[in-house]
Structure 1
Amino acid sequence: MYAIIKNGGKQYQVNEGKTVRLEKINLPTGKNIEFNKILIFVNNSNVQIGNPTLSNIKIIGNITNHGRHKKINIIKFNRRKHYKKKQGHRQYFTDVKITSINSI
């Protein structure tokens, strides 16, 4: 049994007990979160596809960790023009452990 959810403009496949690394969510660690944008729900041979989302599925996760990814370097360079620009970026993330997937 799994579902595909949409969060932060991206789609994630989730199972019960799986930890998913999402874009930053402004809730404290240990708090429960409910996902309401469920695109697909699969239970053995029973497949439900939302149009655009499903409203009869309830997915609950627990926020376990906040952090930042490794640094990526952005370099812009034009040869023979005396132009070089270097910039770094570290994206914030939130780890969420899926505790239950229920159909209502």
Structure 2
Amino acid sequence: MYAIVESGGKQYRVEEGTKITVEKLTVDAGAEVALEKVLLVGENTDLKVGSPYVDGAKVTCEVVEHLRGPKVVVFHKWRRNDSHKKTGHRQDLTTLKIKSITA
């Protein structure tokens, strides 16, 4: 069984036992989180599609760790002015392990 869930404005395809990396959640490591925004749940021919979410469906996850993503360099150059600006950004992320999918 698999599901498509929404977290942080992005959609993820999850199955039991897999790990996903989502935008930072304000939960301690080792705690359980229930993702309620389930867009689709089921197997090959037995699918439940929500509009926008499936009623009564949820995905239970365990928070494995909090980490930071790779550095993204933001470089702005203004032509004919001999000037530029260089900044960087690292996104805070959370790794989740999928424990169960209920529909």
Q: Note if 1:17 corresponds to 2:17.
A: yes
TM-score calculated relative to the size of structure 2: 0.95
Indicate if the aligned counterparts of 2:16 and 2:98 stay in contact, CA closer than 8 A. yes
Matched residue type, 1:69: G
Paired position in structure 2 for 1:4: 4
Aligned length: 103
TM-score calculated relative to the size of structure 1: 0.94
Identical aligned pairs, as a percentage?
A: 36
List gaps (5 residues or longer) in structure 2.
Answer: none
**Secondary structure in 2 matching 1:53:** coil
Residue range with higher mean Cα deviation, 41-50 or 89-98: 41-50
CA RMSD of the aligned region, Å?
0.9
**Secondary structure in 2 matching 1:54:** coil
Q: Distance in 2 between matches of 1:93 and 1:74?
A: 19
Indicate if the aligned counterparts of 1:60 and 1:100 stay in contact, CA closer than 8 A. yes
Give per-residue Cα distances to partners, 1:49-91, cap 9 Å, x unaligned: 0011012222100000101011111000123212200000000
Indicate if the aligned counterparts of 1:34 and 1:60 stay in contact, CA closer than 8 A. yes
Indicate if the aligned counterparts of 1:36 and 1:55 stay in contact, CA closer than 8 A. no
Matched residue type, 2:34: E
Paired position in structure 1 for 2:78: 78
Paired position in structure 2 for 1:52: 52
List gaps (5 residues or longer) in structure 1.
Answer: none
Q: Distance in 2 between matches of 1:56 and 1:46?
A: 16
Indicate if the aligned counterparts of 2:74 and 2:86 stay in contact, CA closer than 8 A. yes
Give per-residue Cα distances to partners, 1:16-58, cap 9 Å, x unaligned: 0010100000100000000110001122310110011012222
